[in-house]
Structure 1
Amino acid sequence: MPVDGVSQTSEPDGAARPATARLSVVLPTFNERDNLPVLIDRLDTVLAGIAWEAIVVDDNSPDGTAEAARAIAARDPRVRVIRRVGRRGLSGACIEGMLASSADYVAVMDADLQHDETLLPKMLAALSNGAADLAVASRHVEGGDVGSGLSSVRASGSGLANRLARLLLGVTLSDPMSGFFMIRRSEVERLAPGLSSQGFKILLDIVATARGSLRIVELPFVFRERLHGQSKLDTLVALDFLGLLLSKFVGDVVSVRFLMFMMVGASGVIVHMAALFALIELEGMSFQLAQTAATFVAMTTNFWLNNRLTYRDRRLRGLAALRGLLTFYLVCGFGVIANVGVASLVYQEDAGRILIGLAGAAGAVMGAVWNYAASSVLTWRKA
């Protein structure tokens, strides 16, 4: 009987279980009910003669994707379903699916039909001959193309992200933003402790974490148009990507989530100053009143951004979001006290500018750490 959050395999009465899979195809899904049956049929065709399985990892889709996957699994024992409740995110889903596999090789691809499934046998051949540990479907090698699957804006953004990854992390892949790849499962087991469950760029995380230890081959593919549904990527993913880049750049000393929280906080400074000047210059408010109002404006926008991005896997909605906003105000209020308190301890009368700067920085760091730790527990606590 299916159990939420646990890998499940369904098979009809009397049906023989398939041979141990040589290849697991991990399909992270969110609202892909209409695309999933089409993709499974295509996998059945292109992987004929290969012992394969599909592991559908669904983030509790409201459109019934998990139910559709179970219906397929009832007819085809090669399909397994993991329904994740209370946790979200493409990278986390991919990691969970890959670690649920017992096959020698694991492929990750989108379930939206934009990835060319006919490339899977070529990937498997590239790995099974012993020449590589990771096969990547690239849109940027000869023969590959972004096609019509990406808008011009998203295509430009993807190109910029690729350049940043190569510049900051030394990643030599032509397409580190690709979400279509195959890897030896033994390498997944080795690298998994260093991977982040947040974000959308699991391939970049794998390559950056491996630090040059993987033998990689790139195969060209053309990115196709989505058949059903809408893309789950939005403009806020850019901040998520920058958080991953910075985390890997500093050697994973701090988490991706903390770095994103800090980036949101930095944006709050800009919002605060803009609101402050607008209220004084345009509304004629006194400085004290404008400063107070600007503080609440900045805290509100910080809450919204953190709820949308930093804690998107714990996103609050409805009344829960209102309660979360109130607790966030409370947390930030104590954060100000922590900031001033630590700065006062460091500051000394008649101190030079350097010590004044250090005092201010120490207070800011303490306030930021408090806000992050307290909001994780109080505002966006795990269900």
Structure 2
Amino acid sequence: MKPLELAVVIPTFNESGNIGELVRRLDAALKGREWEAVFVDDASPDGTAQMLREIAVKDRRIRVIERIDRRGLSSACIEGMMATGAPLIAVMDADLQHDPAVLIRLENALKADPELDLAIASRFVEGGGTGDWESERVAKSETASRIAQLVLKAELTDPLSGFFMIRAKRFRELAPRLSGIGFKILLDLLTTARRPLRFAEVPLQFHRREVGESKLDHVVAMEFLVALYDRMFGRIIPTRFAMFALIGVIGVAVHLSLLWLFFGLLGAEFVVGQITATMGAMTFNFFLNNALTYRDRRLHGTRALLRGWLSFCAVCSIGAVANIGIAAFLFEERYAYATASALAGVLVAAVWNYALSSRFTWGRY
């Protein structure tokens, strides 16, 4: 039996319409090589994982990891890459926009130069292209690439490429320090390496998605910015806490807006307006945190969301009492001026709310 030469890690979510054709293309492109494909599926509601299992029964080169109640492309790639013993590991998309034939070029680049750590498929080197992308999408991609260059330890034409191959030994050296945040694992690898990674780029002609919907939504764009923050400032102020605090600041604006609406505009009693504004702001914060801050632990279903909302409101109510108590104590005892006392109370409440909601609202891991 020949030793395993190459593993292809493919994160999936709602790709049932593409995986059959993708497996056929992998088989054709890698003919003559010993390879395996590790599909990491985030519990796709369209039955992607089950379809893959049916393929795997007949083809032992196909492996399936189905994650329950977890989301995130980068973290999915890390799990898949850690699950193989192949000396070379490639990452590519399942939507048929990445041509499996490029895997051979990536492999050849690494074999031609033993000093290289990874090979990257680039849309922006000579011979590459973005296909029939609209000019707006090309502009967005180029802007994101320029932003990514601000935190990179290497200069390359396509830092947001989702198609590359890395030596498994080098990946495992980096794995313990990877954040797993965002949708670009390559960016995570490049910014984590203490010694700049040595790489080569090969041309990639990006194909058009034929089946399914693009995952490039506004939340993904937000995750990109979050990933950049994590690499630049995450060691100073943890990324999740920074997001939680930012949403808290937005929640203050929501609170004041609701208070003005009910008390100032509709003429409700101040206490009624304050209670309504408080509950509205906490509800807003809960759902935004669920969608963004804790996206990888996101609560689903009416029952889970109701329990989570009640838990979050209880935690934040106690935090509000702590905020007022600490601020009042510092001001009355003349330890600090009014502004400093208020800020101290806010900071303590923020830490309290973050710590307890992480544990009791979204603390499933």
Using the size of structure 1 for normalisation, the TM-score is 0.86
Cα distance in 2, alignment partners of residues 270 and 324 from structure 1: 23
Which residue, out of 104, 121, 130, partners 2:104? 121
In the alignment, is the contact (CA less than 8 A) between 2:322 and 2:349 conserved in 1? yes
Write the mapping of 1:330-349 to structure 2, written as runs, cut at 5 A.
330-347=314-331
SS at match of 1:31: coil
**Kept in 1: contact 2:128–2:204 (CA 8 A):** yes
In 2, the alpha carbon distance for the partners of 1:153 and 1:270 equals 32
Cα deviation code 1:210-269 (max 9, x no counterpart): 145211222232322212111233212233222221121125344433333233223323
Farther-moved stretch of structure 1 (98-107 vs 60-69): 60-69
Return the match for 2:175 from 172, 192, 195: 192
Residue equivalent to 2:7 = 24
Among candidates 199, 203, 206, match of residue 220 of structure 1:
203
Q: Deviations over 1:134-192 (max 9, x none)?
A: 2222223333333335x655544433332222224555333222211111111111111
**2:287 maps to amino acid:** W
SS at match of 2:218: coil
For the pair 1:366 / 2:351, whether they are aligned, the reply is no
Does residue 245 (structure 1) correspond to residue 228 (structure 2)? The answer is yes
Helix, strand or coil: the match of 2:15? coil
Mapping of residues 65-84 of structure 1, within 5 Å: 65-84=48-67
Structure 1 unaligned blocks of 5 or more: 1-17
User: In the aligned structure 2, how far is the partner of 1:351 from the partner of 1:254?
Assistant: 26
Does the 8 Å contact 1:57/1:84 carry over to 2?
yes
Aligned to 1:182: 165
Q: Which letter does structure 2 place at the counterpart of 1:364?
A: V
Partner of residue 146 from structure 1, selected from 116, 127, 130: 130
Letter of the structure 2 residue corresponding to residue 249 of structure 1? M
CA 1:131/1:170 → structure 2, altered by over 3 Å: closer, same or farther? closer
Instruction: Kindly report the root-mean-square deviation, in angstroms, between the aligned alpha carbons of the 2 structures.
Output: 2.4
Counterpart CA distance in 2 for 1:220 and 1:127 is: 15
| Partner residue in 2 for 1:267 | 250
Is 2:172 aligned against 1:210? Answer: no
Instruction: Summarize deviations over 1:330-351 as a string: whole Å, max 9, x none.
Output: 1111121232334345445566
1:287: Cα distance to partner?
A: 4.8
Q: Name whichever of 246-255 and 311-320 sits farther off.
A: 246-255
Give the letter for the 2:343 counterpart.
Answer: A
Deviates more, 1:280-289 or 1:225-234: 280-289
In structure 1, what is the Cα distance between the partners aligned to 2:265 and 2:138? 40
Return 5+ residue gaps in structure 2 as ranges: none
Q: Does 1:136 align with 2:120?
A: yes
How far off is 1:299 after superposition? 1.6
Secondary structure, aligned partner of 1:117: coil
Relative to 1, partners in 2 of residues 1:40 and 1:214: Cα closer, same or farther, differing over 3 Å? same
What's the CA shift for 1:110? 0.8
Q: Distance in 1 between matches of 2:25 and 2:118?
A: 23
For residue 230 of structure 1, what is the aligned residue in structure 2?
213
Residues in 2 aligned to 1:241 and 1:191: alpha-carbon distance in whole angstroms: 20
Tell me the CA shift for residue 120 of structure 1.
Answer: 0.9
Go from structure 1 to structure 2 and tell me whether the alpha carbon gap of 1:70 and 1:350 turns closer, same or farther (over 3 Å shift): closer
42, 55, 61: which one aligns with 2:25: 42
Residue 94 of structure 1 is matched in structure 2 by: 77
Q: What percent of counterpart residues are identical?
A: 50
In 2 relative to 1, CA 248–50 (structure 1 residues): closer, same or farther, beyond 3 Å? same
Shift of 1:42: 0.6
Deviation of 1:373 after TM superposition, in Å, equals 1.6
User: In 1, are the aligned partners of 2:41 and 2:49 still within 8 Å (CA)?
Assistant: yes
- Describe the shift of the 1:19–1:330 C-alpha distance in structure 2 as closer, same or farther (beyond 3 A): same
Q: Map 1:165-180; keep pairs closer than 5 Å.
A: 165-169=148-152, 172-180=155-163
Counterparts of 1:341 and 1:156, CA distance in 2: 51
Partners of 1:96 and 1:20 in 2: how far apart? 22
Q: Residue 169 of structure 1 contacts residue 245 of structure 1 at CA under 8 Å; is this kept in 2?
A: no
Distance 1:192 1:80 in 2: 21
Instruction: Give the aligned length.
Output: 363
- Give me the whole-angstrom Cα distance separating, in 2, the residues matched to 1:65 and 1:370: 40
TM-score by length of 2: 0.90
Q: 1:168 to 1:363 in 2, by over 3 A?
A: farther
AA aligned opposite 1:371: N
For residue 74 of structure 1, what is the amino acid of its counterpart?
V
